[in-house]
Structure 1
């Protein structure tokens, strides 16, 4: 049953992560807002009038997380269906495909998560192997980065003219327009019930992980207008998590569709380039393991026109850009729009860039100058960084070590918002904070406190909601309660990973996220004063 919105809830006997009182052990919520934070002793004045008293028993209370980049339907399909992320080999992946196909009848089969760079065979399945494993059914399997995919012959047959599209391969993975075409054909076979079940699975998982807000990055190439409309309607009729939509379509038509759908921006996965794993991220210099520089989908002039249209319409523009050449195009385009409209007006719109991995110093400075928010995914580095990771294979060790420079972003004044890009990497907020604090390249590490802020308040600020994502009187009561170990203050220097909080410092502690330590367990998630998860 839905909770009343006018309830008063007193939480006491724990640790409240609040800048209003770094020693707070209690918090009072009235309706949708936080009314007070303070000590257990002072909380006694509110006990008699509270509709509910939550005995924290030492638990930690924090703002709820914001995942600033998700694909809810695809994530839900991976949660409830065929997810190859954990496959240790090509042979195991084919076995799992066969088992999945045998248990499903009718419509297209949809799966995700294969990554040939992690398999001893170091190759994707051939079309013949895929057809045999799927038993002749139409099957769509997105690669882990979702910028290439495998499709069986039966699915390919549903796309007339597929062999004429850029990115077509007669026997191997599909990229570019060919990939988008088979994905649309597969998703077209989802029933409204299948879509709703998948979206509900994502919202449930998010709530169980202490995530109170999701930024859905939709678009005509990644999902559909119907998919985004259904998700926003579902989120509106449930207590949470909250969902804010981005529609990644270029130009006036994209702006009009974003407004019609109720999206907050015409951006998100509006592709300037692809991904490193699929050799489609756009680079200034060739890949180390391929004789080309990737794929450019948009020019600086097209970017400028889109930023101008969005700014004039009162919407955020946003772009998917990973490679250094793609990021150069974004900066040139946004700067051209600023020259036309005025820098202050463009900065006030808080346009954003998704992923922003290959940022050099000049591009970093331009991000800060133009007020661009970097919506980034630290789990990418955890999955593919390091001297032996996929990034190094694609770019060489030196260029790979320059990717995802979070510390330099903060020093330069670039606003950060953290997300997962689920299903590319899983919904895992504390794991994301850990990945940023223990980046595989030590000079890019940031403190746990800074990473936590990027994954809470940073996501709200990316929406222009500057007062949300912090536990202070008057703020929205969107919070999570955690079972955790000792609270410490952690620095980005791995030589001094953590130390107990000195009470004299006035600095509240967070869980010890040193690799190997268990991550916190979510006991309760509350969105705007309503409980959306309770363990």
Structure 2
């Protein structure tokens, strides 16, 4: 159970990560706000007036995380159902599918996630015949790890009207593009309200246990539904945290701005697709994929034109809503930039920049594109775990693009140097909710020149998420700020630079720089002991007492 409190709580005897005092060991909470941050000696004056005194026993207190890109229902379904993430081979995937069908076939359409053929010895996904044998007649939907293609059993395909006429349809291979969206709509339409609520609750509970105070839900007609987003926002309002901020990814010409307003979304964007993803070869590129199948066009898929993007950004800006676009490939990123420049020509740079329009994922950027992001005031909503999962000279990116092009992806350091705001997220269920793992992935990018410091990555995963929705005062532990924080059991605190060739470590108190956990690959990640959202405890570990 969570609790709502207006009491005064004193935390002491630990380390408080605060710019107000780099040596802070204590913090006072009054109701929903931070009232004071300071030293252990000064805390004595507050102990007698506090309703509760929490002995941190050396624990670390930080701002709670913000995951800037999630899909709550799909994440919950993966948490509670069939998750093939990390499955080592095609035969093992088919075995797990058959086991799941045997145990759950009475539940109607079965939904799973996470297969990735690029790591399998067979190097291919199941054929439709193989999938049907495992599905045993059940209607089955299995999204690929990037959620831009899917396996669908014959029983599910038969329930989807006019599927064979949709772009991206294949009679025996995974479905992409419109065909994928069609079978996903069919599968999700059969979820009951109880199933949806259970999945969404599972996501909120997992987020709270990981020290996450807020989630940016990226919904849309091709990802979920109006009903799904409305149910999630209503559920989050019933709970005491984590908070959920919704985005509705639909063009203004199709009513997206009006729908976003009606649903209470903060933006008409998020996963408004300008293109697809590298794994499914649907990210839109100027130069073709190296491993394009014979029947592929080689350059991926463009879902939006620059003119459509310009009209959408114009409408959103005039309505006072954020626009946002899913853009991964360089051709898609360039289309977004061109469209936003057109909106600037119409409305003026000040009005457009003030909205902090977003680009989700934005993996393939050159120096010219990064400069345009800075010029246009765009926020880059990025997922460092993508690089951890698929980067490196032998990873999926290199398979699709070649090692040289792959090494240019996700240039976090260049974005920060140019002054582009970063907001970090997981894109769960594409990668798991894992905030400290996300910070580690940014700090230890597989391409060293793209690495950023742990401190910069942590800021992008806390304050950056709040700034992305225009809440500049949040995500930092200073007097007057909202009391949204997490308590961690961790090892030695250090100041960790992004480049191992220079001095990357410091525990010298004379630096005046607050330390964070050592996130060197192989070290144990911090354990969350408590998560508090606006003064309300939403998670407490048994270890915390």
Whole-Å Cα distance in 2 between the matches of residues 89 and 107 of structure 1? 27
Q: Which 10-residue stretch deviates more, 9-18 or 42-51?
A: 42-51
Q: Which 10-residue stretch deviates more, 144-153 or 497-506?
A: 497-506
Aligned to 1:446: 452
Alignment of 1:426-441 (within 5 A): 426-441=432-447
Alignment of 1:257-406 (within 5 A): 257-290=259-292, 292-406=298-412
SS in 2 for 1:477: coil
Aligned to 2:179: 178
**How many residues matched?**
535
> 1:186 and 1:498, CA in 2 relative to 1: closer, same or farther beyond 3 A?
same
Whole-Å Cα distance in 1 between the matches of residues 503 and 78 of structure 2? 34
Q: 1:517 aligns with which of 515, 520, 523?
A: 523
- For the pair 1:459 / 2:441, whether they are aligned, the reply is no
Whole-Å Cα distance in 2 between the matches of residues 54 and 38 of structure 1? 15
SS in 2 for 1:249: coil
Q: 2:427 aligns with which of 421, 436, 449?
A: 421
- For the pair 1:93 / 2:75, whether they are aligned, the reply is no
C-alpha contact 1:438 1:494 (8 A) present in aligned 2:
no
Whole-Å Cα distance in 2 between the matches of residues 187 and 171 of structure 1? 22
Cα deviation for residue 499 of structure 1 reads 2.0
- For the pair 1:8 / 2:8, whether they are aligned, the reply is yes
- For the pair 1:147 / 2:125, whether they are aligned, the reply is no
Whole-Å Cα distance in 2 between the matches of residues 189 and 525 of structure 1? 34
**Which whole-Å deviations, capped at 9, do the CAs of 1:182-201 have from their partners, x for residues lacking one?**
00000011000000000000
Cα deviation for residue 106 of structure 1 reads 3.1
- For the pair 1:192 / 2:198, whether they are aligned, the reply is no
Whole-Å Cα distance in 1 between the matches of residues 487 and 398 of structure 2? 39
Whole-Å Cα distance in 2 between the matches of residues 533 and 496 of structure 1? 39
Whole-Å Cα distance in 2 between the matches of residues 106 and 211 of structure 1? 31
Cα deviation for residue 113 of structure 1 reads 0.1
Whole-Å Cα distance in 2 between the matches of residues 179 and 206 of structure 1? 28
Whole-Å Cα distance in 1 between the matches of residues 501 and 55 of structure 2? 37
Whole-Å Cα distance in 2 between the matches of residues 202 and 133 of structure 1? 28
Whole-Å Cα distance in 1 between the matches of residues 10 and 389 of structure 2? 40
Cα deviation for residue 226 of structure 1 reads 0.2
C-alpha contact 2:343 2:352 (8 A) present in aligned 1:
yes
Aligned to 1:79: 79
Aligned to 1:234: 235
SS in 1 for 2:175: coil
Aligned to 2:69: 69
Whole-Å Cα distance in 1 between the matches of residues 538 and 2 of structure 2? 9
Query: Structure 1 runs of 4+ off > 6 angstroms?
Result: none
**Which whole-Å deviations, capped at 9, do the CAs of 1:406-445 have from their partners, x for residues lacking one?**
0000001110000000000000000000000000000000
Cα deviation for residue 48 of structure 1 reads 1.3
Cα deviation for residue 134 of structure 1 reads 1.0
- For the pair 1:488 / 2:494, whether they are aligned, the reply is yes
Q: TM-score, normalised by structure 2?
A: 0.97
Whole-Å Cα distance in 2 between the matches of residues 300 and 326 of structure 1? 9
Aligned to 2:26: 26
Unaligned runs of 5+ in 2: none
Q: 1:409 aligns with which of 406, 409, 415?
A: 415
Whole-Å Cα distance in 2 between the matches of residues 39 and 496 of structure 1? 32
C-alpha contact 1:498 1:512 (8 A) present in aligned 2:
no
Cα deviation for residue 49 of structure 1 reads 1.3
SS in 2 for 1:244: strand
Aligned to 1:256: 258
**Which whole-Å deviations, capped at 9, do the CAs of 1:467-510 have from their partners, x for residues lacking one?**
10000000000000000000000001023474232111110000
SS in 1 for 2:409: coil
C-alpha contact 2:4 2:537 (8 A) present in aligned 1:
no
C-alpha contact 1:353 1:374 (8 A) present in aligned 2:
yes
C-alpha contact 1:352 1:375 (8 A) present in aligned 2:
yes
Q: 1:531 aligns with which of 509, 521, 537?
A: 537
C-alpha contact 1:501 1:508 (8 A) present in aligned 2:
no
Q: CA RMSD in A?
A: 0.8
Whole-Å Cα distance in 2 between the matches of residues 132 and 39 of structure 1? 65
Cα deviation for residue 5 of structure 1 reads 3.2
**Which whole-Å deviations, capped at 9, do the CAs of 1:22-50 have from their partners, x for residues lacking one?**
00000000000000000111011111111
Aligned to 1:162: 163
C-alpha contact 2:4 2:240 (8 A) present in aligned 1:
no
SS in 1 for 2:107: coil
Cα deviation for residue 2 of structure 1 reads 4.8
C-alpha contact 1:501 1:507 (8 A) present in aligned 2:
no
SS in 2 for 1:499: coil
